């Protein structure tokens, strides 16, 4: 049995200079250092229409929804860095989750989510670091069968947290993220052990 932890990492923001995308890249490096195989994607590269059951009924899943769903299926963990918009997750992230959750004929419900483990992080210029948005994201993921790690990370004052190379300037913050990601990898390994 292949015991390599396969993590899909992405940001809930499509903004070019997103703090959450920077944080997702840092988390990707932490996961690779912990021994995981990581696929980093940008939701900007997989644009989706707003979820629409009439569109799905007439045309099926959009091509990018099929690609994104397959990425979810192919990985056993999710590493999501999500900004907070109006005390919730972003529309682009919720829309992606809604499309990926659609069931193909003969497929079990929530096939792309069941058995997955997720680690949640956020970054914001505000003092709370996007923490309120993670509450909603956690609720949605748990309701569709994802086991969400109890620890989460919210990087406050993100506009001052990164150096010119996109790395965190505070080594204590980096150490915290490294520790959380290592727990994620070990948890997935234990859950998938024969």
Does position 101 have pLDDT exceeding 90, yes or no? yes
- Identify the structural domains of the chain with CATH numbers, from first to last: 6-191 (3.40.50.360)
Does position 1 have pLDDT exceeding 60, yes or no? no
For the chain, percent of residues with pLDDT exceeding 90: 92
Confidence (pLDDT) at 194: 81
Displacement of CA 194 from its chain's centroid (Å): 26
Give 28-53 pLDDT, tens digit per residue.
Answer: 999 999 999 999 999 999 999 999 99
Confidence (pLDDT) at 14: 96
Confidence (pLDDT) at 2: 60
């Amino acid at each position: 049995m292949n015991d390599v932890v396969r993590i899909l990492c992405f940001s809930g923001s499509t903004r070019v200079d997103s703090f959450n995308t920077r944080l997702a890249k840092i988390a990707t490096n932490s996961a690779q250092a912990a021994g995981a195989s990581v696929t980093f994607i940008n939701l900007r590269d997989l644009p989706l229409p707003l979820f629409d059951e009439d569109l799905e009924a007439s045309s099926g899943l959009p091509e990018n929804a099929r690609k994104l769903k397959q990425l979810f299926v192919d990985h056993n963990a999710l590493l999501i860095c999500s900004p907070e918009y109006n005390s919730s997750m972003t529309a682009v992230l919720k829309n992606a989750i809604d499309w990926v959750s659609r069931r193909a004929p003969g497929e079990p419900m929530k096939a792309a989510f069941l058995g997955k483990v997720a680690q949640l992080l956020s970054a914001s210029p505000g003092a709370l670091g996007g923490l309120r948005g993670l509450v909603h994201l956690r609720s949605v993921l748990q309701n569709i069968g994802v086991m969400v790690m109890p620890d989460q990370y919210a990087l406050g004052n993100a506009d001052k947290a990164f150096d010119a190379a996109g790395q965190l300037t505070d080594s204590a913050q980096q150490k915290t993220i490294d520790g959380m990601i290592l727990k994620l990898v070990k948890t997935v390994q234990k859950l998938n052990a024969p």
